[in-house]
Amino acid sequence: RSKNRIRKVTPDGRITTVAGNGFADYGGDGGPAIDAALNFPAGLAVDLAGNLYIADRNNHRVRRVDPEGVITTFAGDGVAGFSGDGGPATEASLNLPSGLTVDAQGNLYIADRSNNRVRKVDAGGVISTVAGKGLPDFSGDFGPAIDAHLKYPFGIALDAAGNLYIADRGNNRVRRVDPHGTITTFAGDGTHSFSGDYGPASQASLAYPTGVAVDRAGNLYIADRNNNRVRRVDGQGVITTFMGTGETEYNGDNEIAVETHLHLPFALATRPDGEELLVVDRNHFRVRGVRLDGGRVLTVAGNGRSLFKGDGGPGRGATLGAPSGIVIDSRGHLLFAEKVHNRIRELSPDGLVGTYAGTSTQGNEGDGGRAIDATLYMPSEMAIDGSDNLYFVSRQGSGWVVRRIDRQGVISRFAGNGLQGREGDGGPALAASFYAISDIAVDGAGNVYITDLINRNIRRVGADGIIREVAGEKAFSSFGEEVHINGIVIDREGAIYFSDSGSSKVRKIDPQGNITTVGGNGEFADSGDGGPAIEAGIRSPGGLALSPGGDLYIAEAGTSRIRRIDAAGTITTVAGTGEAGFSGDGGPADRARIKSPHRMVFDREGNLFFTDRDNHRIRRIDTRGIITTVAGHGNFGWLQDGLEVRIMIQDFP
């Protein structure tokens, strides 16, 4: 799912990709499936003619791959919603379709998850609802399935008699729809818990069941996800645990399925020969096979390791979490800080994404060792010098620090003692205090500049490691305005440009220390495009960047725009319509929607890259003004459904 691919394991154990190019997108219909873009694919089904059906979840479609490998859209118009019953399936609206199954007559059933329905596409391509009224609730047993309430149905399966089984996940039940359309609860009492083995399945407790499968003997298997078990209901309706102990730590393949640990088992299938049940052991990153005649467990695919949310694949297939600072090194690699994921990642010139620093564990450990093995604490702003030493801002305790990663990949603390304050000028940068570092920059001589939003100053760390104030409250007192330094950039002559979000202006400090305003009239408004920048309204100026030609670019997070001040002092909008959102890839940047643009950097050719932070993307504006996404997609990956998160509770007095 997170790799946006469908993969196949042959009976001799060889794995290949059969659909998906790794990008989280929609495209490729009419061409080879392996070149097509999918977006978080979920359920799969295969019909008797060998067509593969894919629940292309976040595209709100079902795609079909024919035996020749050509992909088309089979159901769904791409709009998240509910419509189209009684008409062509391709003109109907689905909402996060997640489970699929197909019968012998070629009818495809779709668990239309967020519509709280199960729908059917018949052999003529007409779509209809077979279960669910659309509201997430529980009702309707012993009546028509189309009048019943389901709650986020997921996996679905058919038995030989034509009964449809639905993993009614949100209701902690498995429901059954008989061939006459009557619905009943087959397993689960609605309680999110574990109980009931060796008793009636309808009186047992399940916990978010997500998958169902039926064997040749008519036994139903249930992926009892949050109980970390696979349960089985026999022909007499008695439920037992077939696989799993409830413990999550991986204990290897086992001769006995019931003694094998699972971690969030997610999906199930039976082999056509009826001899083996396949289990997606989701958080062990494996597919496991269980012999039905003896319970022996073998790993079919997966080595237990997961590439981090797209690492090793194309940038547009990676899941990003609030990308913040961004720089380019001498090799042309784009480095960006992922504040939420506690990592720094890199995008190579050939478009592949990987992790540059951090393990995703939050912390400040690892100094003196490899950055890839270190813990980072919400890395944000970044700068890089001419020797490829990377500097980044991080939290530590109640204060802030700057850490450095050298060209060899060794990490160390560069500035800051982790305490809040303003002390330390004239001494070692490592002993200095900061209140809230808002940005950093490096000049041509390798001096590192650090801005502090609360201290309202700019400080410089020289080659000797000593920190000194460059400008502060004394220098800014003549403004008669409260200064809040947000972004900073240094030009080739050593002039400092900084954005002042307090006064809604952009200012310049020349090498002689003279301070002037280069943009903004002080009004908290958007105005003035096409005229002098100093007469324009600039609202919420943030990150700054200088183009190879010397034009100054301003990221306005609050107004979802990027603006430019050219050499003549004229201001224009180069990206964003002013309406926060995501749109426009492949077209002019000034007609695209962006959301909270944060930091920017230019490559040697003059292409502008920026962190489109609240869209969780890295986007590029080329020299023609065309905008595209180079990394990330709309699926924010920190709290993906089903993954574990850390929760801390403080009992305050």
- DSSP, res 355: E
Task: Encode pLDDT of 256-270 as tens digits.
Answer: 999 999 999 999 999
**What is the pLDDT at residue 286?**
94
**639 — pLDDT class (breaks 50, 70, 90):** very low
Contact call for residues 230 and 214 (beta carbons, < 8 A): no
- What is the residue-averaged pLDDT of the chain? 93
Strand ranges (E), 561-607: 561-565, 571-575, 597-602
- DSSP, res 139: B
Task: Encode pLDDT of 304-350 as tens digits.
Answer: 988 788 888 899 988 898 899 999 999 999 999 999 899 999 999 99
**What is the pLDDT at residue 473?**
84
Q: What b-and-e string marks burial along 544-574, b requiring 16 or more CB atoms within 10 Å of the CB?
A: bbbbeeebbbbbbbebbbbbbbeeeebbbbb
Task: Encode pLDDT of 369-424 as tens digits.
Answer: 999 999 999 999 999 999 999 999 999 888 899 999 999 999 999 999 999 999 99
Task: Encode pLDDT of 179-227 as tens digits.
Answer: 999 999 999 999 999 999 999 999 999 999 999 999 999 999 999 999 9
Task: Encode pLDDT of 498-525 as tens digits.
Answer: 999 889 999 999 999 999 999 999 888 8
The pair of structure tokens assigned to 307 is 């590439």
The pair of structure tokens assigned to 199 is 């008793």
Task: Encode pLDDT of 586-631 as tens digits.
Answer: 999 999 999 999 999 999 999 999 999 999 999 999 999 999 999 9
**Of 589, 580, 593, which Cα lies nearest the Cα of 624?**
589
Contact call for residues 322 and 613 (beta carbons, < 8 A): yes
d(CA 379, CA 440): 12
Contact call for residues 400 and 415 (beta carbons, < 8 A): no
d(CA 429, CA 469): 11
d(CA 546, CA 508): 13
Half-sphere exposure of 55 (CA within 13 A, CB side): 26
Contact call for residues 541 and 501 (beta carbons, < 8 A): yes
Least confident of 414-428, 471-485, 558-572: 471-485
List Cβ neighbours of 350 (8 Å cut-off, separation of 6 or more): none
**Of 543, 493, 487, which Cα lies nearest the Cα of 514?**
493
Partners of residue 270 on adjacent β-strands: 277
**What is the pLDDT at residue 260?**
96
d(CA 565, CA 568): 8
Q: What b-and-e string marks burial along 508-542, b requiring 16 or more CB atoms within 10 Å of the CB?
A: bbeeeeeeebbbbbebeebebbeeebbebbbbbbb
Contact call for residues 4 and 40 (beta carbons, < 8 A): yes
Sign for the CA dihedral angle at 584, 590, 595, 600 comes to positive
